[in-house]
Structure 1
Amino acid sequence: MSSRLLSLDVFRGLTVALMILVNNPGDWGHMYWPLEHATWHGCTPTDLVFPFFLFIVGVSISFSLGNVPGQSSTHGEAVRKILLRGLKLFALGLFLNLFPRFDFSTVRVMGVLQRIACVYVVCSLIFLKMNPRQQVWILLLILVSYFLLLTKIPVPGAGAGNLEPESNLAAWFDRLVLGEAHLWKAVRGVWDPEGVLSTIPAIGNGLSGMLAGYALRRRGNAAKRTVRLAGVGVGLVALGWLWSFWFPLNKSLWTSSYVCFTSGLAMLLLALLYWLIDVRGYRRWARPFEAFGVNAITVFFLSGLVPRILNLFKIGDMGVQTWLFKNGIAPAFTDPYLASLAGALICVGIWWVALAWMYR
């Protein structure tokens, strides 16, 4: 088995392209529902993007560190590199939150890149120190413990089992640890969708990806590997759906049912891409996504930074990006939802051109 899967690069590229699409609508007030997050409980296609990426992080760990656990002499160097990379990712996320005001008194501490950093570091260390069977037990422990925490531990003033936005245990814990001034600004500092406590179950998506990577790295028939991976995926989707009757699917809380459901769907998609691209050799259609896949962190960071820079410059009372949409794209459409989608697609296209040039 090669140390690199083209299907994994394509999966990562698809995920990053969708991430750019949903994060850059022409008009936030006019978005088709699949491109919006669920209001609270529930799961839209957009709610699959982040857990898919964390799953991919786990698969990548399995391939990049696959030979290290058997070489104890290299563990120290591997741990140093893991911690350094995690620190860099966290710092990039913090920089995005600080830019352009750099007000440390109100900076949001957590975020997407910060969660990726935490999941990457924890999963990598688990991979180095534990075998796959032990990793399964850690995954089960995380999912069951988080379920019990959020449903059985009473929150001051709200009681136990409260899963509402402002009064659940994760929100209370984030306010306690980080302080309201350092939470997600869109909800006035009462909770954070990438908070501290909800990062713990997110590790489960990374662990699921590591186990999927282990399954794909095993010797044997490719068809059996694919079927085995797809079978586990179906089982996880079913488990997540059934569990959601007691512990609803919820991205902001990152519920255990959500971990199972999204990890199962990620396994199914990876199995399909692996079979089509790495086994059957149908690769030409996937080339546009390779550029996104091999530059994932770079494009995510820049796609967050560039709009912030553009909107520092004003044309009238509008930032440059908003002005370009209002005056260059929106007038070409009678449907504001279609115009908003067109703006997002153009944004994806611009990044693809830049990445294709870098990738060639």
Structure 2
Amino acid sequence: MKTETPQRFLSLDVFRGLTVAGMILVNNPGSWSYVYSPLEHAPWHGCTPTDLVFPFFLFAVGNAMSFSMKKYEVLGNGAVIQKILKRTLLIFVIGLLLNWFPFVKWSDGLLVGKPFSGLRILGVLPRIALCYGVAAFIIHYLKDKGAFVAAGILLLGYWFLLIAFGTGDPYSLEGYAGLPLDKLILGENHMYKGEGVPFDPEGILSTLPAICNVIFGYLAGVFIQQQGKTYEMLSRLMITGCILIFTALCWDLVFPINKKIWTSSYVLYTVGIALLLLSVLMYVVEFKGRTAWTVLFTPFGKNPLFIYFLAGVVVKLYLLARLPEGQNLYSWLYTHIFQPLAGNMNGSLLFAIFHVAFFWLVGWWMDKKKIYIRV
């Protein structure tokens, strides 16, 4: 216990907080018709700044595991399994309930219950749960080197599965091998339909490579703790990030970088950028000691899953609340406050920034009160 405090790097908390702030920013524009292109997902192949947010969060989950898994070393195998399964199930159920929330919807002017038959099963929190659970078991049983090998097998194996079982262009929506699998296991009614057809960007098959974002985040955390605050550690972290980005761009020529089917090249690309960003944060915070600005992000990093969950709940309540004009509260806030104040595009952005600031205040208050909700 006495070595935990010096090992805890503030920059890792900042990285996690920055990621949560980014998730709130990109998920809550005032209007989806007015969004600056860097705050939108790539239509299919490619990667925008927004496409970095979710894999960064998984990478941050792995970072946190590099600390928490040490505590499991003193536990028996059965206790470790129980802890991993309990946390995985809890996060998955919370995600499922968030998808279902607020459990009612408007129909012909009346509030009616939202049936389970149309509930989306997967999503952001369920994917976090599955990636955490599988990565935790891999790390527990195979240890660090074995986890690295397992990640390589998952990335190459996923590529093989897409080629072997895909149809036509295996990297297209129509030819993607994970689509029929999701339809078979989940059913079309329980899938995301944001593409205009049943297709889940957090589907079953694409969860396999996403597990690697957690594993690599864990390995990066272990490396940082083992090496300590040295320039050698920092330089090796940056070099590794550059190598991964270069490898991903080369792989992109035959296996396109794509978030929606979470390609293996996308994993290497996002992990590489995460390492570079983390290196910069560590240099500024740990080496130069410039920490005053970190308060902008650490409140998010202290309660990441809770704040993300709370943001989802608040937005869903906005959409449920109906005003006399017939608008929901979400639309009313944009059209009556932010759009008149700053125009279409900037008003939409200002709406998102306002909510980042609001949830920052929530996180700041919780931190001041020493309220930390662990899942």
Q: Aligned partner of 2:14: which letter?
A: V
* 1:321 CA drift (Å): 1.9
C-alpha distance in 2, partners of 1:145/1:112?
23
Matches within 5 A, 1:204-243: 204-219=212-227, 222-243=230-251
- The answer (yes or no) to whether the contact 2:191–2:198 under 8 Å persists in 1 is yes
Q: Aligned partner of 1:241: which letter?
A: L
> 2:117 aligned with 1:117, yes or no?
no
Report the counterpart of residue 37 of structure 1 in structure 2: 41
Report the counterpart of residue 127 of structure 1 in structure 2: 139
Report the counterpart of residue 305 of structure 2 in structure 1: 297
* 1:127 CA drift (Å): 1.7
- The answer (yes or no) to whether the contact 2:229–2:286 under 8 Å persists in 1 is no
C-alpha distance in 2, partners of 1:18/1:213?
21
* 1:67 CA drift (Å): 5.1
- The answer (yes or no) to whether the contact 1:34–1:44 under 8 Å persists in 2 is yes
More moved, 124-133 vs 262-271 = 124-133
More moved, 203-212 vs 184-193 = 184-193
C-alpha distance in 2, partners of 1:284/1:270?
17
> 2:144 aligned with 1:140, yes or no?
no
Matches within 5 A, 1:265-280: 265-280=273-288
* 1:4 CA drift (Å): 2.5
Among the aligned pairs, what percent are the same residue? 41
Matches within 5 A, 1:1-360: 2-66=6-70, 68-69=72-73, 71=74, 73-99=75-101, 100-101=103-104, 102-153=114-165, 155=166, 158-159=167-168, 161-219=169-227, 222-315=230-323, 316-334=325-343, 336-360=344-368
C-alpha distance in 2, partners of 1:237/1:353?
35
Q: Aligned partner of 1:318: which letter?
A: Q
Give SS of 1:131's match.
Answer: helix
CA RMSD of aligned residues (A): 1.5
- The answer (yes or no) to whether the contact 2:302–2:363 under 8 Å persists in 1 is no
Q: TM-score, normalised by structure 2?
A: 0.90
* 1:134 CA drift (Å): 1.1
- The answer (yes or no) to whether the contact 1:135–1:207 under 8 Å persists in 2 is yes
* 1:3 CA drift (Å): 4.4
Deviations 1:158-195, CA, capped at 9 Å, x for gaps = 34x42211331011211121111110032355210000
- The answer (yes or no) to whether the contact 1:3–1:64 under 8 Å persists in 2 is no
Displacement over 3 Å in runs of 4+: none
Give SS of 1:146's match.
Answer: helix
- The answer (yes or no) to whether the contact 1:40–1:252 under 8 Å persists in 2 is yes
Give SS of 1:324's match.
Answer: helix
C-alpha distance in 1, partners of 2:156/2:215?
15
Number of matched residues? 353
Taking structure 1 as reference, are residues 221 and 171 closer, same or farther at Cα in structure 2, changes over 3 Å only?
same
C-alpha distance in 2, partners of 1:86/1:289?
26
C-alpha distance in 2, partners of 1:220/1:181?
50
Q: Aligned partner of 1:104: which letter?
A: F
Give SS of 1:65's match.
Answer: helix
Q: Aligned partner of 2:339: which letter?
A: A
Q: Aligned partner of 1:312: which letter?
A: L
- The answer (yes or no) to whether the contact 2:139–2:146 under 8 Å persists in 1 is no
Q: Give ranges in structure 1 of 5+ residues lacking alignment.
A: none
Q: Aligned partner of 1:216: which letter?
A: I
C-alpha distance in 2, partners of 1:91/1:220?
37
